[in-house]
Structure 1
């Protein structure tokens, strides 16, 4: 157990990124409590060393009781909705599940004296940035409700931290992909829209093919370019962010989480084809609303402020881990029936 003596609450800890963060926290010696309503998460994805509680992060009765009974001193907040096209079609869902829920969570945290919070933000707050490589000094300008819902939360965090003894780190994720290298968990959501997840499903025959949205972006091959970060490296970034908050009480941070280089949709599909040995059928369609052409992280700040060092930064490694996890899921489905 960590000498700090408090436990960490992980909201959304049964989801894709949250379940990997739970593993990273446990391996760093933290006592972990997971709170998840299991709308998109999976109970089996939570490591048995963590305590699991089914419920909502915005529950103003459950959360304070949990903080008090479990000795929670920090929160890693992953709970929320994350699909950009869905946010355009149903914006109120995103302002409810993301912004309003986080507001309620912050009320509980402040009332119970929680001192540290690491927030799952997104590079979508940058919108259609004026340059391909973005850093934290750029003025956020989200172009979809998902990004706006997260930027609202960042503003709430800043205001709360100025008024109360709570510091925070907002980690702006770029495109998260891959799976635990030991195959303990991975992206398991039905109907997921993450490119690498969809591509490995197509390679294994559980999808007919893949839709490529946009071939006329100002990129080398016309398809969208993204900075793909391995989910395990991202989980480790959260542990380092928590250590940073504890070491500097009163100081808060907003930092990019990416590798600083990008790959196009067609480059990702080629990597999946290499790993699987299978050709992937493609359907070329118009751009989706709210999709920027290219987005790559400047990760200098997180590397300067913390000891974070990516360990799985190669595209082929990311794809290989995602493909292995997808094979495990496929075998499970076949066994079930």
Structure 2
């Protein structure tokens, strides 16, 4: 794009309003702040089933309601002249989804279809979808790429893959411009005002155990990895939020995008590394209890972020120590 054309496109983007579904949640609230910092007006829709009203910054429009409510979405699009959507809302607990498949599909598939229908009726033609690396299941490769076969192993992973299909089908049928961002383990905090409150994620579980005087637990230390513990992608939530905004900007400027991007570290860190870093950052000396392996847990799942680095300003700007220390400060300030 020529410099003059790019400048014009950037000016148009700065005047835009983007709806963030799930914008009162841990990830969504960071996306809202990143949009605001980029001079893009965010509007939040969240039913507060797992989000927190206090996570939405003062001055940002907040609409309490479910993405399953098509009429509410239509009113929101009309009242706020929405130009695009960053769809973060969803039921994100893979393990629980096995016990609650119908709930998972309602929240992640039916809600996405409802959102796309409301967008079509309102003439909103751009969406960034918060997908998941759960679409890959247990890949038998050292480094996951966007071309790695998809074999989801939970209703959650299946629902995210179906969400990607819905976007692609609507793109073919109605010209929807879209991209989906797949990522693994999101940690850290970009501000002490927001923290991960999930009852299922590693960092909250470890911090809660330490603050309660309990010893954190890990599942297995006999994997074929350097320290015997599982190796995973852990990425900082603020880095993730920046790439959501970069994707929105690219869509708004009518620049080409891939249908999906992995937001991966390229090398990963082990659960053992995390535990050692937590002990250093918190000043609480502990040796984690070692429980049995969890069935189906692979030794290593790490993704390449090469395509996202090329197009979406993706990079690992934060070290593991940054991730742990920022999350710990947010937890202690709660």
Cα shift at 1:2: 5.6
> Once the 2 structures are TM-superposed, how far is the Cα of residue 225 of structure 1 from its aligned partner?
1.1
2:205 alignment counterpart? 198
In structure 2, the residue matched to 1:293 is 299
Equivalent pair of 2:181/2:263 in contact (CA under 8 Å): yes
- Confirm or deny: 8 A CA contact 2:305 2:314 kept in the other structure: no
Does the CA-based 8 Å contact 2:257-2:311 persist in structure 1? Answer: no
Q: Deviations over 1:292-321 (max 9, x none)?
A: 332111010011123334422x10010000
- Give 1:246-325 correspondences, 5 Å limit: 246-248=252-254, 252-280=258-286, 282-312=288-318, 314-325=319-330
C-alpha distance in structure 1 between counterparts of 2:34 and 2:192, whole Å: 14
**Contact 2:31–2:242 (CA<8 Å) still a contact in 1?**
yes
Equivalent of 2:197, from 164, 188, 199?
188
Distance in structure 2 (CA, Å) of the matches to 1:235 and 1:73: 19
Report SS of the residue matched to 1:32: strand
More off after superposition, 227-236 vs 109-118: 109-118
| TM-score of the pair, normalised by structure 2 | 0.92
| Equivalence for 2:4 | none
Write the distance in 1 (CA, Å) between the matches of 2:287 and 2:312: 42
Whole-angstrom CA distance in 1 between matches of 2:213 and 2:68: 35
Residue 235 of structure 2 contacts residue 264 of structure 2 at CA under 8 Å; is this kept in 1? yes
Tell me the secondary structure at the aligned position of residue 92 of structure 2: coil
Flag the 1:2–1:199 CA change in 2: closer, same or farther, 3 A. Answer: farther
Question: Which whole-Å CA distance do the structure 1 matches of 2:302 and 2:114 have between them?
Answer: 32
Please show how residues 125-204 of structure 1 align to structure 2 within 5 Å.
125-180=135-190, 182-189=191-198, 192-203=199-210
Partner-residue secondary structure (3-state), 1:134: coil
4+ residue stretches of structure 1 with deviation over 6 A?
A: none
**Stretches of structure 1 lacking an aligned partner (at least 5 in a row):** 330-337
Alignment of 1:29-68 (within 5 A): 29-68=39-78
CA deviation after TM superposition for structure 1 residue 290, in Å: 4.9
**Residue 43 of structure 2 aligns to a residue in which SS?**
strand
Q: Which runs of 5+ in 2 are unaligned?
A: 1-9
Which whole-Å deviations, capped at 9, do the CAs of 1:153-212 have from their partners, x for residues lacking one? 1111111111112111100012100011x42322134xx222122222333x23623231
Secondary structure at 1:118 match in 2: strand
Give the deviation of 1:251 after TM superposition: 5.0
Give the SS at the match of 2:12: coil
Contact 1:35-1:53 within 8 A present in 2 as well: yes
Q: Tell which deviates more after alignment, 26-35 or 276-285.
A: 276-285
Q: Secondary structure at the match of 1:53?
A: strand
Paired position in structure 2 for 1:333? none
Show the counterpart of 1:327: 332
CA deviation after TM superposition for structure 1 residue 254, in Å: 0.3
Q: Aligned partners of 1:267 and 1:310: how far apart in 2?
A: 17
Counterpart residue number, 1:85: 95
Match of 1:124 among 134, 141, 144: 134
Distance 2:95 2:149 in 1: 23
